[in-house]
Amino acid sequence: MAMGIRQSETVAPGKDVPHVLITTIPSDSHTWNLMYMRLLVAEHGAAVDCLGCCVPYTHTADEVVAQKPDLVIVSTVNGHGSQQGGELMHIARARLGSSTPPFVIGGQIAVETARYRLAAEALIRAGYERVFYGESAIPAFNRFMRNFVASHANKPRVLTG
């Protein structure tokens, strides 16, 4: 079970409101980045659910199956994002197959900043749609979210029940 408090924003997912799931990797016990991302994503108009810190891979996969989010954001600041983020994507794809929603990852994805580019390339190969790191991370993420929310508003939703 993930540590920390599970938090949801009051905006409910719906036809024009994308549902975003924020998680982290099992070794990352930081929460300030999760709080920041939760507020930033909500500011873009998305419904947000945050799983907390130290989230096991299988718990994230289980929550993606249960919640069916439109986007999964993996936020990490402990430097192990490239390694554990890749493992998370491997497990999510094995569990979800073709129904895997887009995953993005950002933060301190490697222990040394000199390795960020190589780490980002590995994460893209693993299946992440986007990797956000370095000084341009937040401006690039904001552009991504604006485009994501706008494209979601124009996308028909398939309702199951």
pTM for this model (two decimals): 0.87
Structure confidence at residue 10 (pLDDT) = 47
Residue 62 exposure: Cα atoms within 13 Å on the Cβ side: 8
What is the rounded average pLDDT of the residues 65-85? 94
Q: CATH number of the domain that 80 lies in?
A: 3.40.50.280
DSSP state of 110: S
140 within some domain: no
- Give the number of domains in the chain: 1
Structure confidence at residue 25 (pLDDT) = 95
User: CA-based Rg of the chain, rounded to a whole angstrom?
Assistant: 15
What is the rounded average pLDDT of the residues 143-159? 79
69 within some domain: yes
153 within some domain: no
154 within some domain: no
155 within some domain: no
Whether 133 contacts 120, CB under 8 Å: yes
Q: What is the pLDDT of residues 32-58, one digit of tens each?
A: 999 999 999 999 999 999 999 999 999
Torsion sign, CA atoms 107, 144, 51, 85: negative
> CA angle, corner 136, sides to 107 and 20, nearest 5?
50
User: pLDDT tier at 9 (50, 70, 90 boundaries)?
Assistant: very low
159 within some domain: no
Whether 109 contacts 123, CB under 8 Å: yes
Which parts of the chain fold into alpha helices (H)?
Answer: 32-43, 57-67, 81-96, 116-126, 137-153
pLDDT tops 50 at residue 1:
no
150 within some domain: no
Q: What is the pLDDT of residues 86-140, one digit of tens each?
A: 999 999 999 999 889 999 999 999 988 889 999 999 999 999 999 999 999 999 9
146 within some domain: no
